[in-house]
Amino acid sequence: MKFGKEFAAQMVPEWQEAYVDYSSLKTCLKEIHRRKQNNRQSDTPTRLQRALTLYRSFSGLNRTQNVRASSSDDHDVENQAILVNSVRGNGSGKYETTFLMVAEDGAEYEQEFFKQLDKELNKVDKFYRSKVKEVMVEAEELTNQMHALIAFRIKADKLEEEFGVSGSSGRIMISMNELQGTTDVKQSDNGSQQIREDDPEKVPSIRLAPQEVLNHVKLNQATFTAAKVNCVSKPKQTQMDFSRDNLKRIEKQLKRAFIEFYYKLRLLKNYSFLNVLAFSKILKKYDKMTSRRASKYYTRTVDDSYLGSSDEVTKLMERVEATFIKHFSNSNRSKGMNKLRPKSKKERHRTSFGTGFFAGCAAALILALVLIIHARDILDKEGRAQYMESMFPLYSLFGFMVLHMLMHAGNIYFWRKYRVNYSFIFGFKQGTELGFREVLLLSFGLGTLALISVVSNLDMEMDPETGDYKALTELLPLSLLLLVVIVLLCPFNILYRSSRFVLLGTLFRCICAPLYMVRFQDFYLADQFTSEVQAFRSLEYYICHYGWGDFKLRQNTCKSNDIFNTFYFIVAVIPYWSRLLQCVRRFHDEKDSMQAFNGLKYFLTIVAVCMRTAYGLDRRTSWEALAWTFSAMAAIYGTYWDLVVDWGLLQRRSKNRWLRDKLLIPYKTVYFGAMALNVLLRFAWLQTVLNLNLPLHRETLIAIVACLEIIRRGIWNFFRLENEHLNNVGKFRAFKSVPLPFYSDEDEDRTD
């Protein structure tokens, strides 16, 4: 692999703008090379000169490097092409290169090359300095956290030893009368728990740790057990909880902080190495094209710069390793390093094999289904309408799920191809995110099981005596749905347990909106549910069909049931209502007026869905007018929000006309095509109000429109994450912020 591709592949995606612009420097070198080629063609040497050169090269008359080895340095100085000056100021350096061969042809191109080279070196050096400064401040904070942890740990161990309380009992409640002068607790205004040391000398054994740090330290009330006050017998006495549970929570949180901090240090070290290597590579190319020896001098400058000579990151990594191994891995180095440096996720052959196997099975079953329908002439039988009314909504649920998973797999593939850091945006732990192969395996596996059920259930003949169908085949859809739910909730480490639990946790926060702070993955999942309205209605139909419908006769009265029709509205509104509540919570937390306008979009969509549903159940002119009005308003509003806010497109003053300044896909027609397709699919609701006489069953038409909405959502997902990724790139946000268990009084005053 060429270095340019390898260099781009190893970049931190959010720091792309801060790396050396290697491709631009290569373009300058190509221009220099083209200029020199033109000069050589204009000054064609004669045959005699070429012969003389050839003769000298073989006769030993040419001057080699060994002729004047003692004066090689003087010779280099005489033929030196550049002079690099370093201007120090404000704690940073600025490098300026003077090109000395200005009298030669094409010198202006070489001057431009070194000017751009200086610009890149200054940019990289400045960025690296800023990041090292940040990690040094963070290292100091982690040092204070460790001091507080050690003090907390020793005090908990000492109190447990003195009072004979087992760590597994959960709590060690210490009254001030029982341990006078040892600890004190003060409840702050914001509900946090403050630990204060009154007189450490009264308990000499506790002085083994630097417990004076606890004088100015508080615990995060959101994570730890709050201090309790005994208001009955001793109203002025405060009790302190030094439980083993609290200690484990503190250790767990600090462990996460150290792992994330070490990951940041590794990326910084790799950033320095890659950029120094890029300068070395590009300078060697320059020497090769120009037959100069400028790389020696400029590489020395790069090595002497802060980027090439600073060892703060390396020392910090050694300190983090030593601290982590000692305090979080019981001095087991291999165990500690495995956690600090998790192994990269390997592609498994069984995943590829399973994906291909289930894809082949699904294709074979689809072909078999088509042949069965054609051979039995099922489309012309009397039971066709009954089957479409009773069974088709049951199986369409799995079709929606499989289609959505296939679209997500395609999104993951293109996110990786265009280096969208989706794992960081979604907050996945390093190496735990699913790749597109894993998602394809799950989707084709579920599709194969659903098609097996369809083929087994595709029996239009019933018992002539009883009029019943086989109970086993009629229960296949319900059994498959229960299997999906069981696998999703399974606590055992099978079928990507960590990803399933992340999905369940995100789903729980979506259901409980607006009680929890909204993160990106929360509203992203809620947006997916807004495109699965018909799937939610299929779940409602499952309850009706198997609850009070006669499933053996493929008969039910769901459509004529008032309760079912009422919940038909409610179920369709739930995803949009959850998303609306998330907007309310974000407006409360962020004080961003855009969230209010976003909430208005979902409110209009709720009204539009209700109007279209009412018109579908009751074909009155009044419902038709309302459905037209609110659906058009919601579609226009939603389309504008998709293109301008979520995707960041349609910018008139952008250097990419009507798009945005930064684009990950090199083909602009893709963006215009996606915008046009989004507009068309946004107005797919028109079929519900235009009363089109299409030769399709109503359930089939509903399923097609639902699939179009899922496809629109899949396209929306890619460009939404692309825009989010570019926002992170603009702010150089590449790491997760891990909350720390302790914070000092100074931090609280600064926050206030």
What DSSP character marks residue 735? S
pTM value > 0.85:
no
* Lowest-confidence region among 201-210, 255-264, 326-335: 201-210
pLDDT of residue 73: 46
Neighbours of 456 (CB within 10 A): 12
Looking at every residue in the chain, the average pLDDT score rounds to: 79
What DSSP character marks residue 550? B
Residue predicted with more confidence, 496 or 729: 496
Contacts of 326 (CB under 8 A, 6+ apart): none
* Lowest-confidence region among 28-37, 76-85, 719-728: 76-85
Question: pLDDT (tens digit, 9 = 90+) per residue, 190-242?
Answer: 444 443 444 434 333 333 345 566 666 677 665 543 333 333 333 333 334 56
pLDDT of residue 741: 78
Contacts of 617 (CB under 8 A, 6+ apart): 565, 568
Q: What angle do CA 121, 124, 126 make, to 5 degrees?
A: 105
Report residue 608 as tokens: 């539009």
Report residue 330 as tokens: 């019981």
Token pair 């926050």: residue:
751
Residue predicted with more confidence, 87 or 183: 87
Measured distance CA(261)–CA(740) in Å, rounded: 12
Torsion of CA 520, 521, 522, 524, to 10 degrees: 90
Handedness of CA 369, 371, 374, 378 (dihedral sign): negative
Prior bond of 342 cis (ω within 30°): no
Report residue 694 as tokens: 């299409």
Return the percentage of the chain with pLDDT > 90, whole number: 35
The average pLDDT across 691-712 equals 86
Is the distance from CB of 584 to CB of 600 less than 8 angstroms? no
pLDDT of residue 43: 54
Token pair 């070196």: residue:
121
Question: pLDDT (tens digit, 9 = 90+) per residue, 154-187?
Answer: 777 776 666 554 444 444 443 323 333 333 434 3
The average pLDDT across 311-315 equals 91
pLDDT of residue 188: 41
3-class state of residue 738 by DSSP: coil
Of 157, 134, 155, 139, nearest to 322 (Cα)? 139
Domain spans in the chain, listed from the N-terminal domain onward: 3-61+79-139+262-340, 144-253, 349-733
The average pLDDT across 139-151 equals 85
Residue predicted with more confidence, 168 or 244: 244
The average pLDDT across 494-514 equals 93
Is the distance from CB of 335 to CB of 329 less than 8 angstroms? yes
* C-alpha 169: how far from chain center: 40
Question: pLDDT (tens digit, 9 = 90+) per residue, 294-304?
Answer: 778 888 888 88
Measured distance CA(118)–CA(282) in Å, rounded: 13
Measured distance CA(616)–CA(688) in Å, rounded: 7
Measured distance CA(281)–CA(575) in Å, rounded: 54
Residue 662 pLDDT greater than 80, yes or no: yes
Question: pLDDT (tens digit, 9 = 90+) per residue, 446-496?
Answer: 999 999 999 888 766 666 666 677 777 888 899 999 999 999 999 998 889
Please state whether beta strands 742-744 and 184-187 pair in parallel, antiparallel, or not at all (unpaired): unpaired
Contacts of 676 (CB under 8 A, 6+ apart): none
Instruction: Tell me phi and psi for residue 86, to 5 degrees.
Output: -115, 120
Measured distance CA(546)–CA(538) in Å, rounded: 12
The average pLDDT across 419-427 equals 88
The average pLDDT across 116-124 equals 90
- The pLDDT-based confidence of 70 (bands split at 50, 70, 90) is very low
Continuous H helices in 341-458:
349-376, 383-390, 392-417, 422-426, 436-457
* C-alpha 23: how far from chain center: 27
Neighbours of 562 (CB within 10 A): 7
Q: What angle do CA 251, 254, 257 make, to 5 degrees?
A: 155
Partners of 88 in beta bridges: 93
Instruction: Tell me phi and psi for residue 62, to 5 degrees.
Output: -75, 150
Strand order in the sheet with 193-196: 184-187, 193-196, 217-219, 742-744
Is the distance from CB of 741 to CB of 253 less than 8 angstroms? yes
Handedness of CA 359, 365, 368, 370 (dihedral sign): negative
pLDDT of residue 721: 94
Residue 67 pLDDT greater than 50, yes or no: no
Report residue 582 as tokens: 């998330």
3-class state of residue 708 by DSSP: helix
pLDDT of residue 211: 59
Please state whether beta strands 228-229 and 184-187 pair in parallel, antiparallel, or not at all (unpaired): unpaired
Burial of 471 (0-12, 13-18, 19+ CB in 10 A): exposed
* Lowest-confidence region among 243-257, 580-594, 646-660: 243-257
Mean pLDDT is highest, among 219-228, 244-253, 580-589, for: 580-589
Burial of 292 (0-12, 13-18, 19+ CB in 10 A): middle
What is the C-alpha end-to-end distance of the chain, expressed in Å? 53
Torsion of CA 103, 105, 110, 112, to 10 degrees: 90
3-class state of residue 265 by DSSP: helix
Please state whether beta strands 184-187 and 193-196 pair in parallel, antiparallel, or not at all (unpaired): antiparallel
Is the distance from CB of 239 to CB of 228 less than 8 angstroms? yes
- The pLDDT-based confidence of 360 (bands split at 50, 70, 90) is very high
pLDDT of residue 460: 63
Measured distance CA(543)–CA(397) in Å, rounded: 13
Measured distance CA(593)–CA(597) in Å, rounded: 7
Continuous H helices in 641-734:
668-682, 686-689, 698-731
Question: pLDDT (tens digit, 9 = 90+) per residue, 453-466?
Answer: 998 887 666 666 66
Torsion of CA 58, 60, 66, 68, to 10 degrees: -140
Of 383, 350, 388, 372, nearest to 451 (Cα)? 372
Residue 86 pLDDT greater than 70, yes or no: no
Residue 332 pLDDT greater than 80, yes or no: yes
Percent of the chain as helix, strand, coil, to the nearest 5: 70, 5, 25
Q: Which amino acid is at 91?
A: G
Of 278, 348, 345, 272, nearest to 310 (Cα)? 272
pLDDT of residue 127: 92
Partners of 228 in beta bridges: 239
3-class state of residue 742 by DSSP: strand
Contacts of 181 (CB under 8 A, 6+ apart): 198, 199, 202, 203
DSSP H or E run through 92: strand 92-99
pLDDT of residue 407: 97
